[in-house]
Amino acid sequence: MPPHDLLNAIDRAILVALQADGRLTNQALAEKVNLSPSACLARTRRLEHDGFIKGYHARLDPFRLGIGLVLFAEVTLQGHMADEQHRFEAAIAHIDNIVEVSDVSGDVDYILKVVVRDMAEWTGMKDDLIGRDLGVRRITTHVLMRKPKIFTGYPVL
């Protein structure tokens, strides 16, 4: 049975509520989903234990943090051997400005979400990635202009 089939309507309601507001108190959450506080806490802990809830985070304003540019970089490696992928992934794992990495199918190997102060900072990062022996063939950059829709959570099916 797929994991989502283990969820009932109350579990889904808890997930929807916490995804919208991770700061809800257990009391407020219990009222929202029509459970006693103890039953609600038990279900929430089970959802955490079972891996449906991965953590609780604050959503920060990147521009207030001095991040002036958000971009997506398509990275194509020279080869597709596992050791080349591991070397590249290990090298970028500790670069704080690379906030998300997706290994994708298609014409490119990875899509990186990168945050920097300005284009000069990105140019330096890009040149460093290409200049190091990481097997990078090409990096294509797409600068984020605006976000007509922002991620607010996953659909709870």
Supply 63's token pair.
């521009």
Q: Are 11 and 51 in contact (CB under 8 A)?
A: no
**Domain residue extents for the chain:** 3-49, 69-143
What percentage of the chain has pLDDT greater than the value 70?
97
Return the pLDDT at 114.
98
Whole-angstrom distance, CA of residue 132 vs CA of residue 88: 10
DSSP lists the bridge partners of residue 101 as 112
DSSP element (H, E) containing 20: helix 9-20
The pLDDT tens digits of the residues spanning 50-96 come to 999 999 999 899 989 999 999 999 999 998 889 999 999 999 999 99
Architecture of domain 3-49: Orthogonal Bundle (1.10)
Whole-angstrom distance, CA of residue 61 vs CA of residue 147: 13
The pLDDT tens digits of the residues spanning 17-28 come to 999 999 999 999
DSSP code, position 97: T
What percentage of the chain has pLDDT greater than the value 90?
86
Report the length, in residues, of the chain: 157
Q: Do domains 3-49 and 69-143 have the same CATH topology?
A: no
69-143 — its CATH code? 3.30.70.920
Q: Are 71 and 122 in contact (CB under 8 A)?
A: yes
